[in-house]
Chain A
Amino acid sequence: MNQDKTADEKPGGGYDPGGVRRQFAILGRNLAWLDNAATTQRPEGVLRAMDEFYRKHNANPRRSVHQLGTEATAAFEGARARVAEFIGAESPQEVVFTAGTTAAINLVTDGLARWDIGPGDEVWVSAVEHHSNWVPWQQAARRMGATLKVIPLTPEGRLNLDEFETGLQAHRTKWVAVAWVSNVLGVANDVQAVCRAAHAAGAQVLVDAAQAVAHLPVNVQALDCDFLAFSGHKMYGPMGSGVLWGKRALLEQVEPTVFGGEMIARVDEATSTWAEVPYRFEGGTPHVAGAVGLATAIDWLSEFPPEAHVYVADLARRAEEELAALPGVRVWGPRAERLSLVSFSVEGVHPHDVAQVLDSRGVEIRAGHLCAQPLMRRLGVESVARASFFPGNTVDDVRRLVEGVRAAQELFT
Chain B
Amino acid sequence: MSVTDEIYQDLILHHSRRPRHYGPLPDATHAAAGDNPLCGDRYEVRLRLDEKSIIRDAAFEGSGCAISKASASLMLDTVIGLSRDEFEELFRTFHALVSGETPSPEAVAQLGKLAALSGIWKYPARVKCAILCWHAVHSALAGQAHASSEEEFASNSL
- Which of A66-74, A251-259, A277-285, A355-363 contacts the other chain? A355-363
Tell me, rounded to whole Å, the shortest Cβ–Cβ distance linking B149 to chain A. 12
Whether A350 pairs with B64 at a CB distance below 8 angstroms is: yes
Residues of chain A with a CB closer than 8 A to B38's CB: 352, 368
Interface residues of A (CB under 8 A from B): 349-353, 356-357, 359-360, 367-369, 373, 376, 382-383, 411-412
Whether A356 pairs with B41 at a CB distance below 8 angstroms is: no
Q: A350-B64, A350-B66, A412-B13 are in contact. Are A356 and B3 (CB under 8 A)?
A: yes
Residues of chain B with a CB closer than 8 A to A352's CB: 38-39, 65, 67, 126, 129
Whether B39 pairs with A383 at a CB distance below 8 angstroms is: yes
Whether B123 pairs with A382 at a CB distance below 8 angstroms is: no
Residue of A whose beta carbon sits closest to that of B64: A350
Whether A411 pairs with B8 at a CB distance below 8 angstroms is: yes
Residues of chain A with a CB closer than 8 A to B64's CB: 350
Can you list 13 A-B pairs, Cβ within 8 angstroms, ordered by A?
A350-B64, A352-B67, A352-B129, A353-B65, A353-B67, A360-B3, A360-B4, A368-B40, A373-B40, A382-B39, A382-B41, A383-B39, A412-B13
Q: A352-B126, A353-B65 are in contact. Are A412 and B3 (CB under 8 A)?
A: no
Please tell me which one of the listed residues A349, A360, A369, A411 contacts residue B39 in the complex, with CB atoms under 8 A apart.
A369
Residue of B whose beta carbon sits closest to that of A354: B65
What separation, in Å, do the CA atoms of A412 and B8 have in the docked complex?
A: 9
What separation, in Å, do the CA atoms of A412 and B39 have in the docked complex?
A: 19
**B16 interface residue, CB < 8 Å from A?**
yes
Residues of chain B with a CB closer than 8 A to A382's CB: 39-42, 63
How many chain B residues touch A (Cβ–Cβ < 8 Å)? 21
Residue of A whose beta carbon sits closest to that of B6: A360
Residue of A whose beta carbon sits closest to that of B7: A356
Interface residues of B (CB under 8 A from A): 2-4, 7-8, 13, 16-17, 38-42, 63-67, 123, 126, 129
Residue of B whose beta carbon sits closest to that of A413: B17
What separation, in Å, do the CA atoms of A353 and B42 have in the docked complex?
A: 16
Whether B40 pairs with A356 at a CB distance below 8 angstroms is: no
Residues of chain B with a CB closer than 8 A to A349's CB: 66
Whether A369 pairs with B40 at a CB distance below 8 angstroms is: yes
What separation, in Å, do the CA atoms of A383 and B63 have in the docked complex?
A: 10
Tell me, rounded to whole Å, the shortest Cβ–Cβ distance linking A332 to chain B. 15
